[in-house]
Structure 1
Amino acid sequence: MRLHYRRKFNFLRRILFILCIFLLYLSRDSLTLNAKNALMNPKLAEYHGGKIDDIQILRCYHWYRQCGSLYAPRLQPSGTARNAKDAYNVLWSRVSKNITVEPSYSFQTGAFYNSYMYVHTKSYRGKSKNLIKEVAIARDSALIPLQVLRDINKMVKSSDSSVFHNHVYRGGKSTSPWWKLIFGISADSDDISVFGEEWVYKGSGIWCKYILNDDDNDPPIVNLEIYLGSSFVESRPSWKEVIHEFHRNNIPSLPISITRKLETKPARHKFPNKLPRPIGIPDSENNILRLLQVDQDYKIISPHIQFSRAQRSFKILQMTDFHFKCTDNSMTIINEIRTVNFIDRILVLENPDLVIITGDLLDSQNTIDYQTCIMKLVQPMISNKIPYAISLGISDESNLATQLQIKDFIRNLPYSFNNVASEEGHIAVQVSFRRKLSRSTLARRDGSSSDETSPSEALFFVFDSFNPVDDFLLNYSDLIGKIDYGLTFQYFPLSEYRPHGLFPIIGQYNERSTLIIDTSRSKGDVSMTINGEHYQSFLDILNLWNMKGVSCGHEHNNDCCLQSKNEMWLCYGGSAGADVPRIEGLYPNVRLFNVDDIMDEITSWKRNSNSVDDVYDYQYIYKGKQ
């Protein structure tokens, strides 16, 4: 009896051994691929931009050494994967997301893996054939995106359309073998494939449109970005949302929005004293954007603005303290939408030439995706083509990203003066008013009756409150004595914001306790030697450049202007965020400044969200003697 059972056991063991060898043979490619990703460390970095010729969602298993780049096959082998051997040696780069918690932007999460978006890049010199020029992503892999359906509908109406040629729809259960499903290299269970047209299905609901020949003038995609959170809006030129707020069913986290950027080429037109103006800005518009020096991506490359027409005034909108979180909390989402609508309304009413944000865009550790929050905040300015400068505050940090990443993201946004900031983060915007004054204007101003040129210079400092200003100010020492109008903006209030005795004040001054600030400049501990003279007061230093006022943020319950020595006004921007804690009776507000060279004055006023159409606390910051 024992011999009989032993024979059966040996027979079953042989059968199992043969089956194991057979299964190992069938899944040899999958095992090789997983071993390659687990043992090797690919040198290819994550995708931060560049032309691409393939895209798909790939699984990164927990036993892989890293997820930044993976070896994986192409679902539909093309020029770089012509045979089976090459197909399993394609190196993919994950679309980068500058936050440290990787699973937060995965598309799917399993017991042993996370799925991310990967692209295949290739260096193309001169030729764009086979590059991806458009991407569309469906919310359900069994459905076709609306953009693809619209293009197919156009082809159906064409007499030479091949839209019904070689179409395959595989529904129901997956046709992929189970051993491939285990290692995650199969296509979706519901797979729609289209051949013969520009749109090609890449699995996981991703559709791509390719540049089919070298005569195709459509620009290729040169960047993809991922954003987390609700109410995201893409407003940058040459960018477009691929999918908006995709909710991942098996991941209880923030929705994903994906945007793409098309290649932009430098304009060949030449204009005096400036680079080509942005596309679509007519010469007839009296708009500051006409005079900015920008590159093909609308990034500002010079801090100097020269007026060459009739405009002799310059309006600045100061906004501060938003504390955006961009979480999935419904009240937070509503309040942030209210804040953005408030900003939109202010821009329509005032049409400023420059927007300055003095800190606390983010809400420190409560903010999940800093990029979504910043994009939400600057979207009104980008949509209205208004340049802006940002000085970061104490809450502008994240435990998911470094301070350098936050600054780099702001610097690369369109119309951002941060692109021309100093190494320490300081910005100086110089505005030159130049034109011949009319006889009537001159008569009103100084009694002269002859035509003459009357150039004026305005200088606006935007300081980083956390870095020293000595070297930065010394670079502008040649402008001392040449500035007619000056204003300074920074996040922290100065020690002089707590004056003693009686002093002029306009607005609400609710926080009067001693300043508890760690920066030496805000404490008043400043020591500089400029042009042989030694100074220990920061206000005395600013007075060298004829600064008429300093405006800050940080304190939510102060929105006043008070006058300090040198007749310099020290102002607060208030707080603009609808979700910001403040005392009863105060509403989200902004402050405006207007420099008028004709009237020889600087004025300031405020607007708030409770009565946004009304101006209040109108005052003179500077009034020339005429």
Structure 2
Amino acid sequence: MNKQRLSFHADGTFKIVQFTDIHLKDGIEPERDARTLALMERILIIEQPDLIVFSGDLIYSEETVDPKATFRRVIEIAVQAGTPFAVIYGNHDSEKGVTREELQAILAEYELCMAEAGPGEIHGTGNYVLPLFNHADDRESGALYFVDSGEYAPAAIGGYAWIHSDQVAWYLQESAKNRERNGGVLPALAFMHIPIPEYQEVWQSGSVAGRKGEMVCCSKVNSGWFAAMLEAGDVMAAFAGHDHDNDYIGVLHGITLAYGRVTGHNTYGALQRGARVIQLTEGERRFETWIRQEDGSVV
């Protein structure tokens, strides 16, 4: 499979659309699924992104007759738009009838897919990093980290899984390689499905914009992913999904923590459906972000 190359435009921009919690069910309330897919198509026409990030819960496998076919229906949205795409898994993608490995095998069929299975010896499927290249030459200008935040914690602990220490070590290794290869720290973004405990902290700090309509459904265990990003110094912002009634964004110790916006109609949540849009600027440690809603308006 020939991977696409992700490069900044001549005007120095690179745009990402983050779809999260699509929850396609196929067969249960099909009109809701149809509305979800139409919304995604419309946002891609308006925003014309350079990369689509599906940040978990593309399908609700537990209530899906054919999870593989349903998964393909989501991916086809990116294929029809002709846009490269990256995927990370949520806690509902492989709960029933399909494994993450089987979903990853489906992704491998698509030329526009940037997602990788990642190292086999660490936790999760889909821990990988994508370089962003300079518009004019072969130099790297940025990086995008994707990490599998897992599904559920062991019953004795309860709640959701955490990003394991071997994944944190992998990130630090990749970050160090990037720094060495490029003679310095490149600005980077990170994507995960389940938010980390620091999302609660950033909300309490008060320096946030957006809405919090439910508790932060993070893991009960803090494995040090945020501290690692802080120490490595490359990640300027991390983006999660999972909590359908939260869409806030805030800065904690210099790192932006942000939620996407729930995209799918076949699931709970009072927020208008939509997607988060992120625009990077080449050679600069800054980005702009907004939410494009189903009715076309911008938050």
TM-score where L is the length of structure 2: 0.83
Q: Find the partner of 1:316 among 8, 16, 24.
A: 16
Question: Compared with structure 1, are the counterparts of its residues 414 and 434 closer, same or farther at alpha carbon in structure 2 (3 Å cutoff)?
Answer: closer
**1:400 deviation in Å?**
2.7
Q: Find the partner of 2:81 among 381, 384, 392.
A: 384
**1:598 deviation in Å?**
7.0
Give the structure 1 partner of residue 250 of structure 2.
562
Give the structure 2 partner of residue 547 of structure 1.
235
* Residue 371 (structure 1) aligned with residue 68 (structure 2): yes
Give the structure 2 partner of residue 489 of structure 1.
191
* Residue 590 (structure 1) aligned with residue 292 (structure 2): no
* Residue 394 (structure 1) aligned with residue 82 (structure 2): no
* Residue 477 (structure 1) aligned with residue 176 (structure 2): yes
- 3-state secondary structure, aligned to 1:483: coil
- 3-state secondary structure, aligned to 1:305: coil
Provide structure 1 residue ranges, at least 5 long, that are not aligned to the other structure: 1-293, 437-453, 527-537, 617-626
* Residue 407 (structure 1) aligned with residue 113 (structure 2): no
Deviation string 1:358-417 (CA, Å, 9 cap, x unpaired) is 111121311111122112111121012111111111111253333322222223333111
Within 2, Cα distance between the matches of 1:374 and 1:426? Answer: 19
Does the CA contact (< 8 Å) of 1:418 and 1:425 recur in 2?
Answer: yes
Deviation string 1:210-238 (CA, Å, 9 cap, x unpaired) is xxxxxxxxxxxxxxxxxxxxxxxxxxxxx
Amino acid of the residue matched to residue 486 of structure 1? A
Q: Find the partner of 1:431 among 132, 139, 147.
A: 132
Provide structure 2 residue ranges, at least 5 long, that are not aligned to the other structure: 151-163
Query: Which runs of structure 2 are paired with 1:150-549 in the superposition (5 Å)?
Result: 295=2, 300=3, 305-306=6-7, 310-327=10-27, 329=28, 332-419=29-116, 421-423=118-120, 424-435=125-136, 457-466=141-150, 468-469=166-167, 470-480=169-179, 482-499=184-201, 501-512=204-215, 515=217, 517=219, 523-526=221-224, 538-543=225-230, 544-549=232-237
Does the CA contact (< 8 Å) of 1:367 and 1:398 recur in 2?
Answer: no
**1:549 deviation in Å?**
0.6
Within 2, Cα distance between the matches of 1:415 and 1:422? Answer: 21
**1:321 deviation in Å?**
0.4
Within 2, Cα distance between the matches of 1:399 and 1:579? Answer: 17
Q: Whose RCO is larger (CA < 8 A, sep 6+)?
A: 2
Within 1, Cα distance between the matches of 2:96 and 2:77? Answer: 27
Within 2, Cα distance between the matches of 1:402 and 1:478? Answer: 31
Question: Compared with structure 1, are the counterparts of its residues 340 and 510 closer, same or farther at alpha carbon in structure 2 (3 Å cutoff)?
Answer: same
Aligned length: 275
**1:306 deviation in Å?**
4.9
Within 2, Cα distance between the matches of 1:465 and 1:458? Answer: 22
Give the structure 2 partner of residue 192 of structure 1.
none
Question: Compared with structure 1, are the counterparts of its residues 326 and 420 closer, same or farther at alpha carbon in structure 2 (3 Å cutoff)?
Answer: same
* Residue 579 (structure 1) aligned with residue 266 (structure 2): yes
Within 2, Cα distance between the matches of 1:311 and 1:429? Answer: 21
Does the CA contact (< 8 Å) of 2:239 and 2:258 recur in 1?
Answer: yes
Deviation string 1:246-295 (CA, Å, 9 cap, x unpaired) is xxxxxxxxxxxxxxxxxxxxxxxxxxxxxxxxxxxxxxxxxxxxxxxx53
Within 1, Cα distance between the matches of 2:20 and 2:268? Answer: 13
**1:432 deviation in Å?**
1.8
- 3-state secondary structure, aligned to 1:557: coil
Query: Which runs of structure 2 are paired with 1:52-71 in the superposition (5 Å)?
Result: none
TM-score where L is the length of structure 1: 0.41
User: Over the residues paired in the alignment, what is the CA RMSD in angstroms?
Assistant: 2.5
Does the CA contact (< 8 Å) of 2:89 and 2:100 recur in 1?
Answer: no
Deviation string 1:498-518 (CA, Å, 9 cap, x unpaired) is 1174331111112235x4526
Amino acid of the residue matched to residue 506 of structure 1? A
Within 2, Cα distance between the matches of 1:341 and 1:482? Answer: 42
Query: Which runs of structure 2 are paired with 1:136-155 in the superposition (5 Å)?
Result: none
Deviation string 1:173-198 (CA, Å, 9 cap, x unpaired) is xxxxxxxxxxxxxxxxxxxxxxxxxx
Within 2, Cα distance between the matches of 1:455 and 1:409? Answer: 31
Within 2, Cα distance between the matches of 1:545 and 1:551? Answer: 16
Within 1, Cα distance between the matches of 2:215 and 2:119? Answer: 33
